[in-house]
């Protein structure tokens, strides 16, 4: 994923969904707002279920010339013809994933709020690094990826950066000058109209000073 001039939307799926219904919803969302990449995030450990979801989403994303990556499952990414993986163990698996998938695959790394992990991931060959959550939450260890982390990264490091976790319109406006992508998921899937919710958030990016 190349670093854009204006932050783009990096869409994450819900951790569990009914494939047909969600596929239709995803198609509507992607047809309403420009999406840079989609990440399949699945809590299921059932290989067949994950594969069915990936097959369905691949048809939708590739028809729109959008990359599809999957959380952690390097073998499935290669077997199912996906565009790469998003690793959730900071920098630990980046080098191995790059070796397995080759130079053309997307390899991303979630690094929480750790500058050190982000640097290590970049040095190991990650195409992008994501930090989050960007506001307080009871999940995880309570760490927050503050604006100062994104500002430092954008000024010092060339590897594209994704801001994710707890995004609001206000946070998007504040972070837009210092991030390359916004990782958006539950912010829209938890609403009655995900396409409209995403449009509202995208408008906030346009309003950023």
DSSP tally for the chain: helices H, then strands E: 9, 8
pLDDT score recorded for residue 48: 95
For the record, the structure tokens of 96 come out as 């191995």
In the predicted structure, residue 139 carries a pLDDT above the cut 80: no
For the record, the structure tokens of 56 come out as 């369905």
Question: What is the sign, positive or negative, of the torsion defined by CA atoms of 78, 40, 72, 150?
Answer: positive
In the predicted structure, residue 209 carries a pLDDT above the cut 60: no
Q: What does the DSSP assignment read for 98-135?
A: HHHH-TTSEEEEE-TT-HHHHHHHHHHT-SEEEE--SS
Beta-bridge partners for 183: 10, 164
In which band, very low, low, confident or very high, does the pLDDT at 140 lie, cut at 50, 70 and 90? low
Q: Which fold has domain 8-206?
A: TIM Barrel (3.20.20)
pTM: 0.94
């Amino acid at each position: 994923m190349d670093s854009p001039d204006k932050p783009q939307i990096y869409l994450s799926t819900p951790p569990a969904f009914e494939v047909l219904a969600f596929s239709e919803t995803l198609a509507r969302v992607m047809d309403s707002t420009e999406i840079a990449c989609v990440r399949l995030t699945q809590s299921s450990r059932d290989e067949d279920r994950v594969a069915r979801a990936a097959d369905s989403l691949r048809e939708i994303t590739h028809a729109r010339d959008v990359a599809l990556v999957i959380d952690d499952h390097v073998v499935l990414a290669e077997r199912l013809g996906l565009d790469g993986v998003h690793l959730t163990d900071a920098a630990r698996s980046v080098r191995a994933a790059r070796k397995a998938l080759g130079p053309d695959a997307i390899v991303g790394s979630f690094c929480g709020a750790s500058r050190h992990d982000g640097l290590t991931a970049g040095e190991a060959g990650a195409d992008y690094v994501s930090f989050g959550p960007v506001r307080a939450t009871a999940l995880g260890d309570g760490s927050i990826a503050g604006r100062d982390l994104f500002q430092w990264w954008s000024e010092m490091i060339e590897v594209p950066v994704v801001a994710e976790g707890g995004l609001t319109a206000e946070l998007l406006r504040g972070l837009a000058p210092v991030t390359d992508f916004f990782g958006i998921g539950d912010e829209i899937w938890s609403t009655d109209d995900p396409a409209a919710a995403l449009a509202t958030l995208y408008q906030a990016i346009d309003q950023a000073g």
